[in-house]
Structure 1
């Protein structure tokens, strides 16, 4: 049986409310018999005999839209992907020191060639980031709330499509998946 975590983008912010019951219903709608949620940001854990990847992302997106009339992107990672992400954290010391300020942005697709340098050049603050596969690791040494990183990236019109979880959440999701 395969295990996945699905990260919906930008739900439960403003008017984009999705209840736990709706997310679990979406999982059931596409054939997952076992599913759990974790936190209000919409982390959806799935177990079943299903393939992952873009097909699963599209099925989740379509099912949420059919159920609620809400279209949003899902970024899906298998349990082994989550283990790779944890093992590949370039900010290990920072994650021990301030885990809520180390985040992983789960990207929809890898950054196009050259975008990493454009984003690096646009960054005006103390934040550091590393791109790996379809993830963007970011260390906010001072404050996430006061960071200008998102604003700087939006100026480039290359703000990557993804959704962010802090290191504590990533570790808890891996634990829940058995990764």
Structure 2
């Protein structure tokens, strides 16, 4: 059995169909084992014998649309991939806080990795890099100006559309902890 995290895009916990109970129900109906949730923002952990990640992403996304009307996008990462990312310590000496967010933006499996980054870096963003194994951008966001979307995040959305999802570093750590406890 492989342990996975499904990182769901576009989840709004205030909507009735977006509750953790409803999301877990979809995964349980699909026959996955040891289904759990992390926070209320679309992070579902589970086990399965299935190893074809693109097929898992498609199956889960189709079920989310048909069962709950959620069409935001599904990105899957294994415990091994996420543990390796955490162990790489991409944010040495940095701390996630109210004004400075450490974030990881995951690309959907099968999406081509970047050939480069925007030429004009955003003053609100320090791009730490792109982790090839985890297929994830790592960045530090200056979040001291509420409501202002950094240009880098806009670039990610324009370049990859729904084939990405972003999590704070703290959330990635919580997901790994939950996966390891399964």
1:52 Cα shift? 4.6
Partner of 1:158, secondary structure, is: helix
- 2:174 corresponds to: 172
- Taking a change above 3 Å as real, the CA distance of residues 125 and 50 of structure 1, as seen in their structure-2 partners, is same
- Taking a change above 3 Å as real, the CA distance of residues 31 and 98 of structure 1, as seen in their structure-2 partners, is same
Partner of 1:93, secondary structure, is: coil
> Is it true that 1:128 corresponds to 2:129 in the alignment?
no
- Choose 59-68 or 80-89, whichever is displaced more: 80-89
- 2:141 corresponds to: 140
TM-score by length of 2: 0.81
1:69 Cα shift? 2.3
CA distance in 1, matches of 2:37, 2:160: 27
Equivalent residues of 1:4, 1:52 under 8 A apart: no
Query: How many pairs were matched up?
Result: 173
- Taking a change above 3 Å as real, the CA distance of residues 21 and 146 of structure 1, as seen in their structure-2 partners, is closer
In structure 2, list runs of 5 or more residues that go unmatched.
Answer: none
Q: Report 1:25-174 matches (<5 A).
A: 25-94=25-94, 97-98=95-96, 101-108=101-108, 109-113=111-115, 116-117=116-117, 119=118, 121-129=119-127, 130-133=129-132, 134-141=135-142, 143=144, 145=146, 147-150=148-151, 153-154=154-155, 157-158=158-159, 161-174=163-176
Equivalent residues of 1:52, 1:77 under 8 A apart: no
CA distance in 2, matches of 1:105, 1:46: 21
1:166 Cα shift? 1.0
- Taking a change above 3 Å as real, the CA distance of residues 144 and 80 of structure 1, as seen in their structure-2 partners, is farther
Equivalent residues of 1:99, 1:167 under 8 A apart: no
- Taking a change above 3 Å as real, the CA distance of residues 22 and 86 of structure 1, as seen in their structure-2 partners, is same
- Taking a change above 3 Å as real, the CA distance of residues 28 and 141 of structure 1, as seen in their structure-2 partners, is same
Equivalent residues of 1:153, 1:159 under 8 A apart: no
1:89 Cα shift? 3.6
1:173 Cα shift? 1.0
